[in-house]
């Protein structure tokens, strides 16, 4: 749920980058942090363990255009990709306002993508949310590599619900599609907030 600070005229949204291990979640946030002007970003913080170098989340507030005189700030988080860190995933997902699911486009990673998406759905349900109601963008990452799956096949596996989720093709390591993904999810969370506000929720 977005946090509204009436005194500061700020609305704070939490966006979580989710996906299997080594799919490019961290790379996305590193590229965003690099490209956003210094005055518009906070310090990037990370959490790592001795067992797994990919276990960390990043925190990054971004300012966007105002809603009715308010400034929008975005907190950006990644979750660890490994299943054994599911309790950390649940913790990071708590009270999120939007999700970017980063899927690895390599054909060999399709099963991992499916399992991670199912895990996301289960963790959202555990906190009273659903994928269907959550602002969501799919990023089909690593499009620069050989042996990748066509978008239609990835849609069949991942994006086969009654409501089609927006997809962005990306090569996060090259910076391609990263800001497009961020803009897409930011737009969706703001639209969701405005719609709920208008409904009186």
- Number of domain units in the chain: 1
The CATH number that applies at residue 40 is: 3.40.50.300
pLDDT at 37: 77
Q: Which residues, in sequence order, are bridge partners of residue 63?
A: 73
Give the residues across from 99 on adjacent strands.
16, 136
At 68 the pLDDT is 78
Q: Residues near 21 by Cβ (< 8 Å), separated by ≥ 6?
A: 54, 80, 81, 82, 112
Q: What's the confidence (pLDDT) of residue 141? A: 98
Distances (CA, A) of 149 to 31, 37, 166: 24, 35, 17
The whole-number pLDDT of residue 45 equals 75
Question: Comparing C-alpha atoms, which of 139, 32, 127, 62 is closest to residue 89?
Answer: 127
Q: What range does the domain containing 33 cover?
A: 3-199
Please list, in sequence order, all residues whose beta carbon lies within 8 angstroms of the beta carbon of residue 60, skipping any fewer than 6 positions away: 29, 32, 33, 36, 41, 42, 44, 74, 75, 76
Instruction: Write out the two tokens for 47.
Output: 């959490």
The predicted structure's pLDDT at residue 60: 61
Q: What is the pLDDT along the chain (201 residues), one digit of tens a residue?
A: 899 989 988 898 999 999 999 999 989 998 998 888 777 777 777 766 655 444 445 556 666 666 778 888 888 889 887 777 888 889 889 999 999 999 999 999 999 999 999 999 999 999 999 999 999 999 999 999 999 999 999 999 999 876 789 999 999 999 999 999 999 999 999 999 999 988 875
Per-residue pLDDT, 166: 96
């Amino acid at each position: 749920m977005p946090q509204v600070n009436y005194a500061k005229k700020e609305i704070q949204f939490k966006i979580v980058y989710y996906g299997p291990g080594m799919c490019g979640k961290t790379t996305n946030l590193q590229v965003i942090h690099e490209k956003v002007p210094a005055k518009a970003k906070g310090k990037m913080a990370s959490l790592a363990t001795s067992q797994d170098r990919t276990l960390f989340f990043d925190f990054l507030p971004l300012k966007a255009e105002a809603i009715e005189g308010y400034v929008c700030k975005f907190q950006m988080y990644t979750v660890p990709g490994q299943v054994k860190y599911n309790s950390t995933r649940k913790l990071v997902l708590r009270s999120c306002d939007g999700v970017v699911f980063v899927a690895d486009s390599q054909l060999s990673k399709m099963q991992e993508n499916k399992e991670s998406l199912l895990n996301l759905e289960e963790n959202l349900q555990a906190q009273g949310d659903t994928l269907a109601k959550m602002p969501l963008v799919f990023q089909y990452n690593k499009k620069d590599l050989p042996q990748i799956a066509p978008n239609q096949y990835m849609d069949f596996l991942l994006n086969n619900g009654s409501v089609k989720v927006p997809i962005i093709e990306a090569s996060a390591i090259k910076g391609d599609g990263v800001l497009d993904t961020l803009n897409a999810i930011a737009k969706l969370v703001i639209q969701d907030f405005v719609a709920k506000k208008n409904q009186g929720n």
